[in-house]
Amino acid sequence: MKNTLKFKTLSALVLGAALSVAHAAPVPLMQGLGKSGGATSHGDTLSSDTSPLRGPANSSRAPQLISLSAACPNLMVMSDGKVMAMCVDYITRDPKLTLLDKDGNVLTHIMLKSASLLGSVYAYANERDEVIFVDGHHNLISVRAQNQNGKWVLHKNFFGNIPLAKAVIGHCKKSGCDSVVAINPGSEADDVWFVTQNGVVGVANRKTKKVIHTKIANGETIANSFSTASNNRAAVATTHALYMLDKSNGKINVQWRQAYDRGIARKPGQLSWGTGSTPTFFGTNATQDEFVTITDNGKQMNLLVYAADKSGKQICKTPLFGSNNSGTEDSSIAYGRAIVTSSTYGYPYPKYPDGAGKSIPEKAPFIGGITRVDVKPDNSGCVTKWTSDLRSAALPKLSVPDNLIYTIERTGPSDNATALDSYHFVTLDWNTGALRTKKFWSFGLLSNPLQTVGNIGLDHSYWQGTMNGIIRVLP
């Protein structure tokens, strides 16, 4: 399923600090984002899926199972090491926000309301350790943890809510006709960007509470998160095209639109008919947002890389995987000039968003695979550097100081994913794709990570959401 500023001149200092300081800030970094390196599920607003922290690659301890009776796709690390888990409750199907201490003990929780399944997933922690979320009434709200006489409590609307309904449903005039899919802080202080399922893109200001918005397309839907970058820009992928937007002169403007091959239908292992990936900014410029990448949904999926400037020039279109595993619902890791993408083709999910439609074919084996593609030094195209046959059951994450990719491998008696499968905590070498470590993680249906992304805690533990809660790998 599928989350910024100041890089090149600061990278040596920040990444050096990450080797020894547990709370080194993620790079790049937006002003309105938490500083833990895991304040969003994708690590930062570029959606790089990287962490500046070391992980527990060589852990010899048994994993910690934390049952929450909910599927937990979004684990946000707070500045003090606590974790906010945004989960979906089994019974009510409503979002359940749970606060855990740094050792994985449940402190408290609060039930929220969401207008859609995807809206239950995407939230982030801001620089004040408030979780920012859009509720079922289309209000932008905050949730903050407070210790009251030794008891932890989650409070809503610490800064007051910001109504988004006029922007979200004003174009269709009915309460359930549209909903927010994802939110992200922008590069300008106090800006919160949001996108809706039916193609509305907006910005709300936390201080003034002013909301601006535009509808970027008709007949196109947004089924994944989006990313924000320097100079008030955002990259948004619909089921038909990738858009580069900016905020200037009090308006949201489309800088460019790049259509892609969306294929004949939704593929098995994906949640929508179109790209399954969140757009990811990356590069080697001062703000690490020189390029932007997504995957298409062609018969053989392609990695698409574009210049993130106003030209929107296509840098490359590179085929990924084979005829039996070419599709993904995962955002790519992107760092420097390298992009790592995993195949989710054939991966079974317990529930699909409304309007997902039937896949063609209806079912397929889960073959898996992970591959790295690099942009050439002269920007004249891309080259495939390595491919692994590992069957990743989670969205992989790169630990920059470890130079390792962390993920969960799914193994079983056959390529048909079943409730009898086992899961292993594994690391891959970023440079070669070679398997570096492998440790039994858990077994059975409730341990399924559902292609969600994990986060590294300030104590270097690894937190991974599952169908039943969280499994934490201890350092």
Q: Is residue 330 part of a domain?
A: yes
Please report the DSSP string for 110-135 in residue order: EE---SSTGGGT--EE-TTSPEEEE-
pLDDT at 185 over 90: yes
Q: Select the more confidently predicted residue: 115 or 123.
A: 123
CATH number, domain with residue 465: 2.140.10.10
pLDDT at 468 over 80: yes
Peptide bond into 279 cis (omega under 30): no
- What's the CA gap between 161 and 142, in Å, rounded? 7
Identify whether the C-beta of residue 230 lies closer than 8 Å to the C-beta of residue 292: no
pLDDT at 25 over 70: no
46-50, 61-65, 120-124, 198-202 — which is least confidently predicted?
120-124
Tell me, what's the pLDDT at 102? 96
Which of 256, 334, 324 is CA-nearest to residue 295? 334
**Which residues lie across from 248 on neighbouring strands?**
251
Tell me, what's the pLDDT at 158? 64
Tell me, what's the pLDDT at 119? 65
Tell me, what's the pLDDT at 92? 87
Q: Is residue 1 part of a domain?
A: no
Domain containing 101 equals 8-473
Q: Is residue 3 part of a domain?
A: no
Question: CA 347, 352, 356, 361: dihedral to nearest 10 degrees?
Answer: 30
The number of folded domains in the chain is 1
Intra-chain end-to-end CA distance of the chain, in Å: 26
Tell me, what's the pLDDT at 350? 87
Tell me, what's the pLDDT at 118? 65
Which of 16, 51, 19 is CA-nearest to residue 37? 51
Q: Is residue 108 part of a domain?
A: yes
Two tokens, residue 261 = 């091959």
- In the chain, % of residues over pLDDT 70: 93
Q: Which tens digits make up the pLDDT trace of 279-322?
A: 999 999 989 999 999 999 999 999 999 999 999 999 999 999 99
Q: Side chain identity at 434, as an amino acid letter?
A: A
Q: Is residue 2 part of a domain?
A: no
Q: Residue 160 — pLDDT band, cuts 50, 70, 90?
A: confident
Residue 43: helix, strand or coil by DSSP? coil
SS (HEC) of 239-263: CCEEEEEEEECCEEEEEEEEECCCC
Whether pTM > 0.85 for this model: the answer is: yes
Q: Is residue 266 part of a domain?
A: yes
Which of 329, 342, 242, 326 is CA-nearest to residue 291? 242
Tell me, what's the pLDDT at 106? 98
Q: Which tens digits make up the pLDDT trace of 321-334?
A: 998 999 999 999 99
Q: Is residue 275 part of a domain?
A: yes
Summary mean pLDDT of the chain: 92
Please report the DSSP string for 350-377 in residue order: S---TT---BSSS-------EEEEEE-T
- What's the CA gap between 42 and 60, in Å, rounded? 27
The position carrying tokens 């079912």 is 363
